[in-house]
């Protein structure tokens, strides 16, 4: 059962995502981003009474487990481009196999159907992110919210991942972090990093053209990829601290992008 506690009454004024992040202790650190992603969505849903959820790329590892869905009173639809990945998710969801960038995606998943749509570590695998945002907008109900959590350029590991041949990047990841990829339990997919930035000047115009408003970009710095490399680990940690202190978004490592229809 989830350990998240919904502390605000539904009648309270809706907070923006920056206020929610501050209430949850936002500090721009990547560990916070992973640890508080679920809590951020829960608080958004509570404040705005967002009950109809779509998780894009939910696959085998959906954000909310069936008992959490029941506890929070959510209705969750899982989407994935892979029928196999979606088949590995527990029962208790509405599951739809669909390419989120396809012209038919809104009709397949439901136009205007969802109060909130979210995804984590998905957009870097999408070759046409602008089309993904367009489809998300079409599937949101009026006043609906989207939250996308993705890695950003130009963090060094992601630049390397983008530039390397896929076979080489897969080999390096499996060598450095063998525990993360046992028996295909955490498969690696091709990456594009299309429009994966935390710079609001690069993100906002694209979303505003689609029709979104109240666009917020929360940047995060740090990652674990160099933790097993003595010397490089210390140098990278010092640079990361400086980048975070000075808000150098060009070298952030992750971002939340939140917007309203």
Distance CA 126, CA 192 (A): 6
What single string gives the DSSP state of each residue in 93-147?
Answer: SEEEE--TTSTTHHHHH-TT-EEEEEEES-GGG-S-HHHHHHHHHHHEEEEEEEE
User: Domains, the chain, ranges and CATH?
Assistant: 17-260 (3.40.50.150)
Torsion of CA 260, 36, 30, 150, to 10 degrees: -40
pTM of the model: 0.88
**How confident is the prediction along the chain (261 residues), in pLDDT tens digits per residue?**
344 434 444 444 789 999 999 999 999 999 999 999 999 999 999 999 999 999 999 999 999 999 999 999 999 999 999 999 999 999 989 999 999 999 999 999 999 999 999 999 999 999 999 999 999 999 999 999 999 999 999 999 999 888 876 666 666 666 655 655 544 555 667 899 999 999 999 999 999 999 999 999 999 999 988 888 899 999 999 999 999 999 999 999 999 999 999
């Amino acid at each position: 059962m989830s350990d998240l506690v919904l502390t605000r009454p539904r009648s309270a004024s809706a907070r923006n995502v920056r206020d929610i992040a501050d209430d949850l202790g936002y500090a721009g650190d990547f560990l916070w981003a992973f640890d508080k992603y679920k809590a951020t969505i829960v608080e958004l849903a509570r404040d705005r009474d967002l009950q109809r959820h779509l998780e894009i790329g939910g696959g085998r590892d959906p954000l909310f487990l069936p008992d959490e869905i029941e506890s929070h009173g959510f209705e969750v639809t899982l989407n994935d481009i892979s029928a196999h990945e979606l088949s590995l998710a527990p029962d208790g969801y509405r599951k739809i196999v669909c390419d989120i960038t396809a012209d038919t995606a809104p009709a397949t998943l439901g136009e205007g159907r969802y109060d909130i749509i979210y995804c984590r570590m998905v957009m870097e695998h999408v070759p046409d992110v602008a089309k993904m945002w367009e489809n998300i907008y079409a599937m949101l109900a009026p006043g609906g919210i989207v939250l996308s959590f993705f890695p950003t350029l130009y963090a060094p590991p992601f630049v390397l991942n983008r530039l390397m041949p896929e076979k080489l990047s897969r080999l390096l990841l499996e060598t450095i972090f063998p525990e993360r990829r046992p028996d295909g339990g955490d498969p690696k997919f091709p990456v594009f990093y299309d429009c994966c930035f935390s710079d609001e000047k690069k993100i906002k115009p694209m979303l505003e053209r689609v029709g979104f408003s109240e666009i917020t970009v929360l940047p995060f710095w740090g990652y674990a990829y160099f933790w097993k490399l003595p010397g490089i680990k210390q140098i990278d940690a010092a640079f990361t601290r400086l980048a975070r202190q000075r808000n150098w978004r060009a070298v952030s490592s992750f971002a939340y992008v939140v917007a309203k229809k």
